[in-house]
Amino acid sequence: MAESSFDVVSSVDLQEVKNAVAQAMKEIVTRFDLKGSRSDVALEGEGLELTSSDEFKLKAVRDVLEGRLVKRNVPLKALSFGTIEKAFGGTVRQKVALQKGIPSDKAREIVKVIKGTKLKLQASIQGDQVRVSGKNKDDLQSVIRLLKETDLGIDMQFTNFR
């Protein structure tokens, strides 16, 4: 019987993030409570930057952005919000990092969960993803179900099922 495997990865679709940012900016410009507040959402490389005139308005900008991301099927677990800091001209800003790949500590946690099932599977960390392999496809599917139910604090996708 041939060896079957799948990869556990974590990534976001940058095109969907760009579309969500564009939609959020359209809403921010037209919203009554944010008019004239110099609020902005900018995509910068592998992250976002939110700016506004005060923390209350920044929270409103964040809510608008999160709503647009959810509508475009971008998981909010893939975002990690930084601290709110003072910026130039009396404004405040917040950096948002987009998750790219599985961090090594979370990858070790995934391997530990898989080993705890006592199924005849091998889990190996390969860079920023985890490869799970075994002879029984039903075992692989049960591990996928288990990982979906387990909250590890990151967004996971399951690819290359063969």
Whose tokens are 């898989």? That residue is 114
- Domains, in order of start, for the chain: 4-10+101-159 (3.30.70.860), 14-98 (3.30.70.990)
Element (H, E) at 157: strand 157-159
Helix H or strand E segment including 21 = helix 14-30
Give the model's pLDDT for residue 151.
83
Residues of the chain with pLDDT under 70: 1-2
- State the pLDDT at residue 20: 93
pLDDT tens readout for residues 121-157:
998 999 889 999 999 888 889 999 998 888 888 888 8
User: What is the reported pTM?
Assistant: 0.80
At 4 the pLDDT is 87
pLDDT at site 118: 86
What single-letter DSSP state applies at residue 99? Answer: P
For residue 58, give the H/E element and its range. Answer: helix 55-71
- The C-alpha atoms of residue 65 and residue 87 are separated, in whole angstroms, by 20
- pLDDT for 2 equals 62
| Distance (Å) of CA 58 to CA 24, 95, 99, 147, 149 | 13, 11, 21, 34, 33
